[in-house]
Structure 1
Amino acid sequence: MSHNALSEITQAVLSDNLDAISALPVPETYQGVTVHADEAEMFAGLASRDKDPRKSLHLDDVPVPELGPGEALVAVMASAINYNTVWTSIFEPLSTFKFLQRYGRISPLTKRHDLPYHVVGSDLSGVVLRTGPGVHRWQPGQEVVAHCLNVELEGPDGHNDTMLDTEQRIWGFETNFGGLAQVALVKANQLMPKPQHLTWEEAACPGLVNSTAYRQLVSRNGADMKQGDIVLIWGASGGLGSYATQFALNGGAIPVCVVSSPEKAEICRKMGAELVIDRNAEGYRFWKDENTQDPKEWQRFGAKIRELTGGEDPDIVFEHPGRETFGASVYAARKGGTIVTCASTSGYLHQFDNRYLWMNLKRIIGSHFANYRESWEANRLIAKGLIHPTLSKTYPLAETGQAALDVHRNAHQGKVGVLCLAPEEGLGVRDHELRERHLDAINVFRGA
């Protein structure tokens, strides 16, 4: 029954018969990419780099969850890999089953999430299958993407900025029933219209990173970037950095792109950036050993930035590598400048020389994902063809482990996509004229 139901749903979507979706049966089970609670110790004693997501990520048949008030079930056409799926797969910094247990204690409804398996993934593009009681804005058959902010909003804290809700979680990481699956469960206030000129896999890949970069760099909750700002962007061809680079260019700022290879430098230039630093070619070693940073290297790095900018230091440093780069970031920002950080992919314990912060009146801003409004604005820019997806490669759902390994080993550029119900790439485009106008920009990362 489930296989037939999913086939019928897929056929309806592929034949553009979206009105039929509401009449089709919802499957009882679906295939989802999972980690298992009884394997949470499988990598014990191994260094992070030696932990292999292919061993921990499984493709399982799982029951379709019960639909609650304010929720939606989505038939997932495509999804994408984010660092949080890598972290989940290697059980770092801790097992996500602790998140699911904590969420499950809130109410009988959230108890559904506390299971011995965790369906992962924080991006999707697809079609609404069903909506729960109280949902009126979205209907079965609508083509959507989802942002990954899951909030309860019963307390007052989140009503100025939903990211401050006391029960704020990242869907598919701190909740169950994520997007690397044939069906996903989301709150209806995670849904946004699918950009009409993109394929399913292209539309699935911006969600998390695009929204995160928008809040971090553009929003008043982040760095509040303005025209003419010099923005130092670490990992400028990566998942986050590629969107930060585009936001800087689109917003009249001047990106200084830091990358690790000539190929990545070329991608930044294709996006329109002119100032690029290949940190490997320059041989920067910000740490002398495990415990000691090298301020001379910060100075050499700062001098390189000034050489490119005509003597100016960055107004904003777009930080996400963390431990490896943070000391250099604090040093490099201009007097009164801003270091805005949203992650720590090279380590959480940052060290920096506070003299450069306090005596030069710099600010460090913590930024995490984005609220619904920021996510909506970021998606709107994609839909208008002002910001473009950075998809480089796509895998089938059954090879999600390999896709996660690519990201874990930093062997990828931009974003790595995953086909879920979509049988092949290139499907789902509705606005061919808009697509044609932006095809070169859409394909910058392809095959990179």
Structure 2
Amino acid sequence: MNSSFVETVTDPQADSAEIAALEVPESYRAAVLLAEEQTMFDGLAVADRNPAKSLHVREVPTPEPGMNEVLVAVMASAVNYNTVWSALFSPVPTFAFLRRYGREGGLAARHDQPWHVIGSDLAGVVLRAGPGVRKWKPGDRVVAHCLSVELEEPEGHDDTMLDPAQRIWGFETNYGGLADLALVKANQLMPKAEHLSWEEAASPGLVNSTAYRQLVSRNGADMKQGDSVLIWGAAGGLGSYATQYVLNGGGIPICVVSNAQRAQVCREIGAEAIIDRGAEDYTFWRDEHTQDPAEWRRFGRRIRELTGGQDPDIVFEHPGQDTFGASVYVARRGGTIVTCASTSGYTHQFDNRYLWMNIKRIIGSHFANYREAWLANRLIRQGRIHPTLSRSYPLGQVGQAVDDVHRNRHQGKVGVLCLAPKAGLGVLDHELRERHEAAINRFRTPDEAA
């Protein structure tokens, strides 16, 4: 994309007609995986795989938006754990998802390509709106949530996450957000928070909505004031939003982190009960087959020391295999373990006596429906929930950005600049930003903050 195209798209004075008159390029730059390389890591442990080897930045053909679809000029995107899974071809290559989607025919057939444009976040500007789109027009400044649904079956009409055709855009579909252009459904779009830069606005989408559903929604833990909530990875991409929601909702976060720097970030957010798992050396597995209940008990005692003798009402679970046995053990009698993601492994083992005899509940939670995502985004726009962006890379360095998340080198979220020529652009509401500048920059690495 040339500079005049970007200048016109991002000009707040440009009207819809000017944006609509721009010539859409026949191809665009995107971070892609290649079907011919999906076996490249076979036989290699997941920890030893390098996403920089599988991710390529290259031109792909521009899709024409169909019925109820929108083409967005992407200013910035962000890295999520599903981006890591995609680039590592683990647990399965994403091309299986694209083939399955493509077999539905019609517009879905376009998604089955020998390349996969990944990425499940974006902030940008509507470039074209397809037939049937009424709410959005060229020039609208937007963010996108990642739920793609068809809603042709009755199951999805109470909670769209139950739609049998529910997919995660940029993971189970093509034309994702780590690119200069992206194709989304109109009901994925939400207004951009105008006190945030493009990369800041792009970063909350997936994790913010996921944390909202997992904790706040009636579809998740339905947290109430006074609840104590154990949050694993409380300074990470997902946990950093969970910590904010617990504090905003009148709850008591118990933050589990891996080092002193992350503990300090949680204190700056407002948390007081913090467990540095690295310093206190909790090891919940004796070996790869055997958990250590003595460590569960030691962990439980530490929690009660921090809470005045109370066990957690809610456990915010997402590491999975490494921590799930401990999570079930430490939740209070009648408490709730709400789980998603399983970044350390999908096979969860726990002692069922602590679940059944203490009448605890396990709730599975996956992303969010449009209403939940909209409400979560409203809190971002109001400055009540803040982005947790630590640093951003240009699209050409997307492999490094994904590897940072894979190796857990990051705090909060890692952003990717797409059409935005540099960080810090896109802010229109300077007054609201000034009131929240410190919170917005809380997770920034020193070089980014400078």
TM-score (ref. length: structure 1) = 0.98
Q: Counterpart in 2 of 1:375?
A: 373
Q: Counterpart in 2 of 1:72?
A: 70
Could you say what secondary structure the match of 1:18 adopts?
Answer: coil
Aligned mate of 2:337, from 321, 336, 339: 339
Could you say what secondary structure the match of 2:264 adopts?
Answer: helix
Give runs of aligned pairs for residues 165-184 of structure 1, distance below 5 A: 165-184=163-182
| Structure 1 counterpart of 2:193, one-letter code | P
Q: Counterpart in 1 of 2:149?
A: 151
| Residue 66 of structure 1: how far off its partner (Å) | 2.0
* Cα distance in structure 2, aligned partners of 1:8 and 1:151: 35
* Cα distance in structure 1, aligned partners of 2:14 and 2:425: 15
* Cα distance in structure 1, aligned partners of 2:63 and 2:145: 19
| Structure 1 counterpart of 2:436, one-letter code | H
* Cα distance in structure 2, aligned partners of 1:350 and 1:270: 33
Q: Counterpart in 2 of 1:234?
A: 232
Q: Counterpart in 1 of 2:7?
A: 11
Give runs of aligned pairs for residues 88-99 of structure 1, distance below 5 A: 88-99=86-97
| Structure 2 counterpart of 1:11, one-letter code | E
Aligned mate of 2:47, from 41, 46, 49: 49
Aligned mate of 2:430, from 400, 409, 432: 432
Aligned residue pair count: 444
| Residue 343 of structure 1: how far off its partner (Å) | 1.2
* Cα distance in structure 2, aligned partners of 1:380 and 1:206: 12
| Structure 2 counterpart of 1:16, one-letter code | P
| Structure 2 counterpart of 1:274, one-letter code | E
| Residue 299 of structure 1: how far off its partner (Å) | 0.2
Alignment deviations for residues 248-301 of structure 1 (CA, whole Å, 9 cap, x no partner): 000000000000000000000011111100011111110000100000000000
> Taking every aligned residue pair, what percent have the same amino acid on both sides?
71
Q: Counterpart in 2 of 1:360?
A: 358
Alignment deviations for residues 146-196 of structure 1 (CA, whole Å, 9 cap, x no partner): 000000011111000000001000000000000000000000000000001
Alignment deviations for residues 112-154 of structure 1 (CA, whole Å, 9 cap, x no partner): 0000000000000000001110000000000000000000011
* Cα distance in structure 1, aligned partners of 2:7 and 2:61: 21
Q: Counterpart in 1 of 2:287?
A: 289
Q: Counterpart in 2 of 1:110?
A: 108
Q: Counterpart in 2 of 1:391?
A: 389
| Residue 61 of structure 1: how far off its partner (Å) | 0.4
* Cα distance in structure 2, aligned partners of 1:109 and 1:14: 29
Alignment deviations for residues 77-120 of structure 1 (CA, whole Å, 9 cap, x no partner): 00000000100001000000000000001122100000000000
Q: Counterpart in 1 of 2:267?
A: 269
Give runs of aligned pairs for residues 110-149 of structure 1, distance below 5 A: 110-149=108-147
Does the Cα contact within 8 Å between 1:8 and 1:24 map onto a contact in 2?
no
Does the Cα contact within 8 Å between 2:411 and 2:443 map onto a contact in 1?
yes
| Residue 374 of structure 1: how far off its partner (Å) | 0.2
Matched, 1:329 2:323: no
Could you say what secondary structure the match of 2:226 adopts?
Answer: coil
* Cα distance in structure 2, aligned partners of 1:428 and 1:222: 34
* Cα distance in structure 2, aligned partners of 1:159 and 1:56: 38
* Cα distance in structure 2, aligned partners of 1:404 and 1:17: 35
* Cα distance in structure 2, aligned partners of 1:173 and 1:262: 33
Does the Cα contact within 8 Å between 2:10 and 2:125 map onto a contact in 1?
no
Q: Counterpart in 1 of 2:196?
A: 198
| Residue 18 of structure 1: how far off its partner (Å) | 3.1
Aligned mate of 2:59, from 58, 61, 80: 61
| Residue 362 of structure 1: how far off its partner (Å) | 0.1
* Cα distance in structure 1, aligned partners of 2:104 and 2:196: 38
* Cα distance in structure 2, aligned partners of 1:358 and 1:147: 36
Could you say what secondary structure the match of 1:166 adopts?
Answer: coil
Matched, 1:84 2:99: no
* Cα distance in structure 2, aligned partners of 1:117 and 1:15: 32
Could you say what secondary structure the match of 1:109 adopts?
Answer: helix
Regions of 4+ moved over 4 Å: none
Gaps of 5+ in 2: none
* Cα distance in structure 2, aligned partners of 1:11 and 1:126: 13
| Structure 2 counterpart of 1:282, one-letter code | E
Does the Cα contact within 8 Å between 2:236 and 2:412 map onto a contact in 1?
yes
| Structure 2 counterpart of 1:149, one-letter code | L
| Residue 17 of structure 1: how far off its partner (Å) | 3.7
Alignment deviations for residues 10-66 of structure 1 (CA, whole Å, 9 cap, x no partner): 111343343121111111110000000000010111111110000000001011012
| Structure 2 counterpart of 1:22, one-letter code | A
| Structure 2 counterpart of 1:15, one-letter code | D
* Cα distance in structure 1, aligned partners of 2:191 and 2:185: 14
Does the Cα contact within 8 Å between 1:9 and 1:21 map onto a contact in 2?
no
